[in-house]
Chain A
Amino acid sequence: MHATEALTEADRLMTLCNSCRYCEGICAVFPAMEMRRTFNDADLNYLANLCHSCGACYVDCQFSPPHEFDINVPRTLARVRADSYAAYAWPGALSGLFARNGLTLSIVLALSVAGFIYSLGTSPLFTQPQAGAGAFYRIMPHNVMALVFGIAFLYAVLAIVLGARKFWRETKTTGVAVAAGGLWQAIRDAGSLRYLDGGGAGCTNAEDAPKDMRKHYHHATFYGFLLCFAATCIATAYHYLLGREAPYPWYDAPVLLGTLGGIGLVVGPLGLLIAKAQRAPDLKVERQLGMDAGFTLMLLLTAATGLLLLVLRQTALLNPLLALHLGVVFALFVTLPYSKFVHGIYRFAALVRYAQERRAELH
């Protein structure tokens, strides 16, 4: 017996797929499936998170609908995956957030925080014009900013780590031998999105559709995110180690990296949102759209407000824009553990586990 209908369906499909195995060259899901004969919830959650939803196995399958075997692996595993985020969420009491409309929640939170910060900035304490070195921190003192965001960030990290730990431990209970290591293999597989290319044939959306661009958009998003993260880290180091206060000139590392990352974080999420809208109907999971789109849109808003801030920081719009940007970043941080963001964490963990299973199999 399985916990959900999606898991029951995934069990049915994996049992059928395991007696066919024609897709074993496409990605990691099918070789991992072949190491098993029966599938409990942990197995299925692991396989679901290993799936990158490239769609190749659906259009390649001789038993996909309208065939009576009705095999749709990408969609079924997407449902299981979405459920698994809630199942592993920490604290469990907040797992319901995944099912709510994440987008509305994130935006309301972002606007509330932005409004709060803006009201601080317009209070009599801070009425002088805001420009020049340290201008940002007359709107919100740096230490307050660092404290508030540090707490939000640490909470997000803690919640994500605890969720990932639960997932990681469960994947070890499936009875398949594992070897140590696999981290470097998983970093390469995740960093290149190795399994988002249909085994080399390219991603498949609809059978006759043009080449799927999600891989490129995802790279822009992911590496854009990393660049922005690097920009933030360098700026923090400047502030505390070198005593150099923001804003920095355009040619300085935090601005250059942040700008580059910001552009990636605008182009990537926009592309992903468009790709999602154009996804073949058979491969779409309707109820997941809110949560997916919510996270993607928050990334987009973070980057867009950040870039606007860069361009308009010498104008009177600085105050409201900074407040908005900080509000969005805050909302992004605290919702991270309950947003689509966690897909990266669980998928990476699944890739490490897969690498370990492969190593054990080869020895």
Chain B
Amino acid sequence: MVDLSKTYDVLVIGGGNAALCAAISARREGASVLVLEAAPKFYRGGNTRHTRNMRCAHDAATDTLTGPYSEEELWTDLLRVTEGHTNEDLARHMIHESKEMLVWIAEQGVRFQPSLGGTLSLGRTNSFFLGGGRAMLNALYKTAESLGIDILYEAPVVDLDIDGATFRAATAEIAGRRNIVRAAALVAACGGFEANIDWLKEYWGPPAENFLIRGTRYNQGSVLKMLTIRGVEQIGDPTQCHAVAIDARAPKYDGGIITRLDCVVFGIVVNKEGKRFYDEGEDVWPKRYAIWGRLVAAQPDQIAYIIFDAPSLKMFMPSCFPAIQAPTLDELAGKFSLDAATLKNTVAEFNAAVRPGTFDHTILDDCRTEDLTPPKSHWARRIETPPFYGYPVRPGITFTYLGTRVNKQARMMMADGREAANMFAAGEIMSGNVLGRGYAAGIGMTIGSVFGRIAGREAARNARN
């Protein structure tokens, strides 16, 4: 039984990769640790549930990595995807620490596998968890439990007692009762606010109602908000989130990886008025994957339709729902309640603008349109061979960028410039420090593991002094 009347050395709020790394690292430093996870046991772990790999620097190939990935190269990649929206000092520190992480995380029971099949392009840079993110979580929880870390599920923190720059206690709601939980140090590792539709509406207005949330409904950002109100400095653009276009038939929450669609580059994308609105062939798909959420969010009713024809059907990874199929564009329009005349006109204009070229979806090929607005710069092929296919898509929100400012110890910084006395943060709640914009596969897990481990260690030391 968990004894909530005692004062713990370290309280960890959250239950994902960052939280568990923090808890384990604090426990290994000798601290008594309590983990409060808002979600029920099955949904524990926030976005970690849906992850698959982490991006750590390494000097040589390993059993599961095909070659070296230097600190400098990782830094260059981070600089590129964030377009400079990062803190170089902190980012380089994280990248340096990431080298040890591959060993440390394996010591906590996490297993890796070589990248296979559709992920070969990441085989050198990213370490894949055997069985995916939930398997990784299962291993971390098992280790945490064997180390004697107390863990409570369905225990959302509803209030924080913060005195100046010092954490005193948290109030957790457990089985309908409010409990005061005391600890000498706090680690906040409880993610962003991507599942908080009301909060999203503050920046996006009513369209946010139509967003789908790719992770669990428990990423409410309530602790982030409390910390901000209590004087912790914010970092990251509050209006920004990582959003991709996912299948509109996906559930509102937790559709995860299988709702994604990789077929934009093979067809055209029209809005509910049957009109195109952006260059579908602008750049290779992984680079443009994350702009389509925003683009669809800007369309009426936040819905769009990817339209393509028979030759493209098997050129991309399958997804969870089958494509809608019809023998003619007329019928396809009918199935999506689009105006058939407009859709046919859009396709006809597109087809007329397609220039001859040699199709190759693995490179920026020379198949493009001419005199068309917006253009399709690559992979433009006439849509003319029945059956015709379509996928309805909506914005799918992965994570938010707003967070708390931290230093290299993962210690929170107060808005007045002071360091927090005993408060630390790790994972998505502070990812904005190093990832102010964009995304690179696996970087979220690197942030979580590295800063989780640092935060746990520092919190334990802090508690002891």
Chain A residues packing against B (C-beta within 8 Å): 15-16, 18-26, 31, 34, 37, 56-57, 59-63, 66-69, 198-201, 207-208
Contact = CB atoms under 8 A, between A and B. Distances in A.
B320 A19 contact: yes
Interface in B110-131: 111, 113-114, 116-118, 128, 130-131
12 contacts: A22-B257, A23-B131, A24-B113, A24-B117, A34-B117, A56-B131, A62-B133, A62-B254, A63-B258, A67-B254, A200-B130, A208-B145
B132 A68 contact: no
Contacts of A21: 117-118
A248 to B, nearest CB: 49
Nearest to B319: A19
Nearest to B49: A62
Contacts of B314: 37
A25 B128 contact: yes
Interface stretch (B134-142, B349-357, B393-401, B413-421): B134-142
Interface in B80-131: 111, 113-114, 116-118, 128, 130-131
A208 B130 contact: no
B310 interface: no
B134 to A, nearest CB: 5
- Residue with the greatest number of chain A CB neighbours at <10 A, chosen from B117, B128, B145: B117
Interface residues of B, number: 32
Nearest to B64: A25
B213 to A, nearest CB: 14
Nearest to A59: B138
A207 B42 CA distance: 11
Contacts of B142: 208
B116 A25 contact: yes
A57 B132 CA distance: 10
Nearest to B42: A66
B256 interface: yes
B318 interface: yes
Given A15-B320, A26-B130, A66-B42, A20 B257 contact: yes
B50 interface: yes
- Residue with the greatest number of chain B CB neighbours at <10 A, chosen from A20, A56, A66, A67: A20
A200 B116 CA distance: 16
B320 A60 contact: no
Nearest to A71: B258
Given A19-B258, A62-B49, A201 B130 contact: yes
B256 A63 contact: yes
A68 B317 contact: no
Per DSSP, are chain A's interface residues mostly helix, strand or loop, or mixed?
A: loop
B334 interface: no
B345 to A, nearest CB: 33
Nearest to A202: B111
A31 B113 CA distance: 13
Contacts of B42: 66-67
A16 B258 contact: yes
A193 B274 CA distance: 55
B148 to A, nearest CB: 15
Given A19-B320, A201-B130, A208-B142, A25 B117 contact: no
Contacts of B251: 68
B39 to A, nearest CB: 12
Contacts of B145: 208
B256 A26 contact: no
A201 B318 contact: no
Contacts of A18: 318
Nearest to A38: B318
A197 to B, nearest CB: 11
Nearest to A18: B318
A52 B118 CA distance: 25
A157 B138 CA distance: 44
Contacts of B117: 21, 24, 31, 34
A280 B357 CA distance: 57
B254 A201 contact: no
A20 B49 CA distance: 13
Given A19-B317, A37-B318, A61 B134 contact: yes
B52 interface: yes
Contacts of B133: 22, 62
A199 B110 CA distance: 13
A23 B130 CA distance: 7
Given A22-B133, A60-B134, 17 more contacts: A19-B257, A19-B320, A20-B256, A21-B117, A21-B118, A22-B131, A22-B132, A23-B132, A25-B116, A25-B128, A59-B138, A60-B138, A62-B254, A198-B131, A200-B111, A201-B130, A201-B131
Given A18-B318, A31-B116, A199-B113, A60 B132 contact: yes
B257 A15 contact: no
A325 B256 CA distance: 56
- A-B interface, 7 closest residue pairs, ranked by CB to CB distance from nearest: A22-B132, A25-B113, A60-B131, A60-B135, A19-B258, A19-B319, A62-B49
A25 B131 contact: yes
- Residue with the greatest number of chain A CB neighbours at <10 A, chosen from B114, B116, B314: B116
B131 A57 contact: yes
Contacts of B320: 15-16, 19, 69
B51 to A, nearest CB: 9
- Residue with the greatest number of chain A CB neighbours at <10 A, chosen from B131, B257, B317, B318: B131
A15 B130 contact: no
Contacts of B49: 62
Contact of B111 (A31, A37, A201, A207): A201
Contacts of A68: 251
- Residue with the greatest number of chain A CB neighbours at <10 A, chosen from B50, B145, B256, B318: B318
A359 B200 CA distance: 51
Nearest to A199: B130
A201 B116 contact: no
- Residue with the greatest number of chain B CB neighbours at <10 A, chosen from A20, A22, A26, A57: A22
B258 A199 contact: no
Interface in B32-46: 42
A56 B111 CA distance: 13
A10 B180 CA distance: 48
A62 B134 contact: yes
Nearest to B53: A22
A218 B135 CA distance: 25
